[in-house]
Structure 1
Amino acid sequence: MKKYSYQKCTAIVLAFIMFFSLFAGVNQAKAEAGLNVNADGAILVDGETGKVLYEKNADSPLGIASMTKMMSEYLLLDAVKHGKVKWNQEYSVSELVYKISQPTSLSNVPLRRDGKYNVRELYEAMAIYSANGATIALAEVIAGSETNFVKMMNEKAKKLGLKNTKFVNSTGLNNKDYHGEQPQGTGADEENVMSPRDVATLAFHLINEYPDVLKTASTPMKVFREGTTDRIVMKNWNWMLPSLVYGYKGMDGLKTGTTDFAGYCFTGTATRDGKRFITVVQNAKDSSGKNDGYKARFGETKKMLDYAFSNYTKEELVAKHYQVKGHKTIPVIKGKEDKVKIYTKSAINMVIPNNEKDNYKPVLVLDKKKVNKNGEVTAPIKKGEKLGYLTIEPKNGDKVSFLTEEGQKKVQVDIIAVQDVEKANWFVLMMRSIGNFFGDVGHGISSTVKGWF
């Protein structure tokens, strides 16, 4: 009877274990399927640190169409910053720019063959209306020719660490739209390609290094050549701006793109409650797998942003002046004191999944150039002197991925000395040496005597 009862209890326990294991497995599957983006490639990142929150085919080179213009914007803003180009600088229209700017089937503001335009109005036409002729005009302003500009684009891509990127023109058009006048060294049917990770990395650099780009990118409508017979109303192609068709709260950028090769693409960014996210979709489709155009790219972007704003929160994971348990001080040699207090110079804030603050632990890394192999620092030490850094990592061993090293450093803070530690004078150091010598001798004698018995 007792044996039967024992077997019955064991069976019940095993059944419960199997049930809860199955339940946990279902929940895990649901979590993994929490975000499924219908696009050939996609990525979702934190706009402040570049922490990757979701990715799909993130390293596959795909068509980007007019999202290309983000690199053209970056190079222009860089040239203005360094005084190589001025906003009021005038441009005289080249024959190529005139030809490209005329077809209304392409995104354009028609430019006059004998016209003169300043850099700012050409920039606004590019950033708001995705004007192709205006983009080539800016390429000529910066580099003398679009051919030279494309070389600059690819060189900058390498410097930014974009590993799956190739630019063949400044606009994102298919080279066949140039009718044989595409940049030298590129094929007639070539298009620009980037991976979702590269697109997000470019966007990350653009909005963090040149945040004013968002003031232009978020302009829903602007008139080109106001007060002239060339007046054109430029409506922003980013229909997710709050006042437009697919308006989304907090949306303020960044760039759309469409060609037959690339499909419907969009790099979006939105901010709410102190959080900013960047999204990329390439060749976006609807839930049935069909490419239904504008609705698909904006719908899939909304899906990612809704997921991010609902499931992630910005938390202070390490407070300012935080001291690591067991490492509140560092031993000091040659100092008036034998140890120095250390703490973090500032706080660490990071976007993490809701209610997971306790799942992160601090990791202390001391500077090997200042701390010897015994973990000691040599006096003198100045108050506020950096002695290492503190970062955080998940307790469960999960890998946290960032777009750039610069972004990753935003979740690292300096470890600094709390107070000055002066170097002891020669007499004190000499007496310590003598004391240490006799201490070592005494210890040696004691050990020897103990060894006799």
Structure 2
Amino acid sequence: MIRYVHMYLVAILLVAGISMSFPSGRHSKAEAANDMSVHAKAAILVDAKSGKILFGQNMDESLPVASMSKLMTQYLILEKIQKGDLKWDDVYHADATDQDLSTRPGLGNVPLYQGQSYTVRDLYNAMTLVSANAASRALGRMAGKSDKHFVQMMNDKAKQLGLKHSSFVNTSGLNNQDLAPYQVKGTASDGENKMSARDLALLAYHFIHSFPNEMDIEKKELDQFPVTDSYSIPLRNKNQLLPNGKYPYKGAIGLKTGMNDAAGYGIVALAKRGQRELIAVIIDAKNKKGKRSSKARYMQAQKLLDYGFTHWDYQKISPEKFLPTNQQKIPVENGTKEKAAITSKTTVTELVPKNSHSIKAKLTLMPKFLTDQKKRELPSTYQPYGLIEVGASRVIPSNDRKLTELTLSFRKLLFFMLISVIPHF
């Protein structure tokens, strides 16, 4: 016999005394209370596991981001490899345009000599570790068959991932003037790749969750690039937060730096300590005197990461504890009893401010048909708030085990901490 439970459990979680809404991308009260300020045109700090925003400043302005936009090129190359459309040992044959672009003074590069062959792995490592611009272009030409088509792929993927304030004109993040005469037709002669801080964080989120096995290369500090069959040059990771960098940071993993005249100095930083993993984005960092500097981006990234690791921690929450008194039992059709109590099979783990001992929540029961008893198991569902999805907790009516299991979905739209506590992407 089919048995239905007419219930849908939605959780709205509020943490007492905290308010972290970012309707306009400005600092929140919680940040102000912790005396947080970032010397940068835009910044964001995000929990890498859930996508929860812990700090935001001018998060949604579309700004030049220089080589930080190579994260999109990396994403698409790894996606092609994952699908089998590219292989790490596939070979690229450099031509005269590669040699010209890769040997121009003042541009980050490894030399790609006409007539020489380079593997996808060689080019990817050069792009990732030293932000080699010609290598990035070469990979785009391999994956997209042309510069123009690959740039279109970048913009299409941005829409697919929900990057609302991003636009790409080339594969590398160079100003188009530096690419002349190899700009993509139809793009501005002085065009720039532009992204918002939120979009960079969201791209980083998808990157680390889609390709977890590729994170080792992000933290690799030294490699070799075979310029010719008999000559190699060292690749030293440009990320100075890594252990042997100028400004080492405990737990630093990656991800991408960027700099040009339009973008200033920026970084997408990823760090992990214990179970906590944080993404920090800095665009156009300044020092205390208001001047741009490479050091400033690392200092501001460290400041954001310190704030996250110092003031936030994970806490387990048992949903049924927050059921209103009049909703602690639900009616059951064709069950052994007319009503069944609700108990939680699992807990939900959320990142909350440390020392927030008083957690308040409101659970609302809403009608929803579930599944056939014969199936017994309902998969945990995922329902997105914005673009980040959150796991689910199951609930079983405690005094009628013959009932089908009830899936409890926590939507970021409702289980937030969004309106009044912690917004997500």
Alignment of 1:160-239 (within 5 A): 160-225=161-226, 228-239=229-240
Q: Is the 8 A contact 2:69 2:172 kept in 1?
A: yes
Amino acid paired to 2:202: T
Amino acid paired to 1:299: M
Cα distance in 2 for residues equivalent to 1:279 and 1:350: 19
Q: What are the superposed Cα offsets for residues 46-91 of structure 1, whole Å, 9 maximum, x if unpaired? A: 1111101111110101110000110001001111111111111111
Cα distance in 1 for residues equivalent to 2:121 and 2:299: 32
- Counterpart of 1:37 in structure 2 is 38
- Counterpart of 1:114 in structure 2 is 115
Cα distance in 1 for residues equivalent to 2:314 and 2:162: 27
Alignment of 1:40-55 (within 5 A): 40-55=41-56
Cα distance in 2 for residues equivalent to 1:120 and 1:67: 20
Over aligned residues, Cα RMSD in angstroms? 2.7
- Counterpart of 1:331 in structure 2 is 331
Closer/same/farther in 2, CA of residues 192 and 388 from structure 1, 3 Å limit: closer
Alignment of 1:411-426 (within 5 A): 412-416=392-396, 419-421=401-403
Amino acid paired to 1:120: R
Where do 5+ consecutive residues of structure 2 fail to align?
1-28, 405-425
- Report the CA distance between 1:339 and its aligned residue: 3.2
TM score, norm. by length of structure 1: 0.76
Closer/same/farther in 2, CA of residues 405 and 115 from structure 1, 3 Å limit: same
Asked whether 1:251 is paired with 2:252, we answer: yes
Amino acid paired to 1:105: G
Amino acid paired to 2:387: E
Cα distance in 2 for residues equivalent to 1:213 and 1:387: 27
Q: Is the 8 A contact 2:61 2:196 kept in 1?
A: yes
- Report the CA distance between 1:227 and its aligned residue: 9.1
Alignment of 1:77-88 (within 5 A): 77-88=78-89
Amino acid paired to 2:393: V
Where do 5+ consecutive residues of structure 1 fail to align?
1-27, 371-377, 392-401, 423-453
Q: Is the 8 A contact 1:257 1:265 kept in 2?
A: yes
Q: Is the 8 A contact 1:60 1:196 kept in 2?
A: yes
Q: Is the 8 A contact 1:340 1:421 kept in 2?
A: no
- Counterpart of 1:363 in structure 2 is 363
- Counterpart of 1:432 in structure 2 is none
- Report the CA distance between 1:221 and its aligned residue: 1.2
- Counterpart of 1:427 in structure 2 is none
- Counterpart of 1:310 in structure 2 is 310
- Report the CA distance between 1:223 and its aligned residue: 1.3
Structure with the largest fraction of helix = 1
Amino acid paired to 2:286: K
- Report the CA distance between 1:415 and its aligned residue: 3.2
Q: What are the superposed Cα offsets for residues 179-201 of structure 1, whole Å, 9 maximum, x if unpaired? A: 22211111110111111111111
- Report the CA distance between 1:33 and its aligned residue: 5.8
Cα distance in 1 for residues equivalent to 2:207 and 2:201: 10
Q: Is the 8 A contact 2:162 2:387 kept in 1?
A: no
- Counterpart of 1:296 in structure 2 is 296
Where 1:166 maps in the other structure, the secondary structure is coil
Percent sequence identity is: 35
Alignment of 1:269-418 (within 5 A): 269-291=270-292, 293-318=293-318, 324=323, 326=325, 327-361=327-361, 363-366=363-366, 368-370=368-370, 380=373, 383-385=376-378, 404-407=386-389, 409-410=390-391, 412-416=392-396
Amino acid paired to 1:260: D
Asked whether 1:66 is paired with 2:67, we answer: yes
Where 1:350 maps in the other structure, the secondary structure is strand
Asked whether 1:154 is paired with 2:142, we answer: no
- Report the CA distance between 1:141 and its aligned residue: 1.0
- Report the CA distance between 1:417 and its aligned residue: 5.0
- Counterpart of 2:132 in structure 1 is 131
- Counterpart of 1:96 in structure 2 is 97
- Report the CA distance between 1:123 and its aligned residue: 0.7
Closer/same/farther in 2, CA of residues 240 and 30 from structure 1, 3 Å limit: closer
Cα distance in 1 for residues equivalent to 2:63 and 2:230: 40
Q: Is the 8 A contact 2:322 2:362 kept in 1?
A: no
Cα distance in 1 for residues equivalent to 2:101 and 2:339: 70
Cα distance in 2 for residues equivalent to 1:268 and 1:195: 15
When Rg is computed on C-alpha atoms for both structures, the one with the higher figure is 1
Closer/same/farther in 2, CA of residues 129 and 416 from structure 1, 3 Å limit: farther
Q: Is the 8 A contact 1:343 1:415 kept in 2?
A: yes
Which one is further off, 335-344 or 70-79?
Answer: 335-344
Closer/same/farther in 2, CA of residues 334 and 266 from structure 1, 3 Å limit: same
Q: What are the superposed Cα offsets for residues 298-335 of structure 1, whole Å, 9 maximum, x if unpaired? A: 0000110111111111111227x878464454211233
Q: Is the 8 A contact 2:166 2:199 kept in 1?
A: yes
Which one is further off, 272-281 or 91-100?
Answer: 91-100
Q: What are the superposed Cα offsets for residues 333-375 of structure 1, whole Å, 9 maximum, x if unpaired? A: 23343234543343211111111142342534545234xxxxx
Cα distance in 2 for residues equivalent to 1:222 and 1:387: 42
Q: What are the superposed Cα offsets for residues 243-289 of structure 1, whole Å, 9 maximum, x if unpaired? A: 21100000001000000010001000100021011011111001121
Where 2:310 maps in the other structure, the secondary structure is helix
Amino acid paired to 1:233: P
- Count the aligned residue pairs: 373
- Report the CA distance between 1:104 and its aligned residue: 4.4
Q: What are the superposed Cα offsets for residues 362-403 of structure 1, whole Å, 9 maximum, x if unpaired? A: 534545234xxxxxxx985764447999x9xxxxxxxxxx98
Cα distance in 1 for residues equivalent to 2:388 and 2:395: 18
**Greater RCO (Cα-Cα under 8 Å, separation 6 or more):** 2
Where 2:332 maps in the other structure, the secondary structure is strand
Closer/same/farther in 2, CA of residues 385 and 193 from structure 1, 3 Å limit: closer
Q: Is the 8 A contact 1:201 1:404 kept in 2?
A: no
Q: Is the 8 A contact 1:332 1:340 kept in 2?
A: yes
- Report the CA distance between 1:105 and its aligned residue: 1.9
Where 2:358 maps in the other structure, the secondary structure is helix
Cα distance in 2 for residues equivalent to 1:313 and 1:151: 40
Q: Is the 8 A contact 2:111 2:227 kept in 1?
A: no
Closer/same/farther in 2, CA of residues 288 and 387 from structure 1, 3 Å limit: closer
Cα distance in 2 for residues equivalent to 1:112 and 1:403: 48
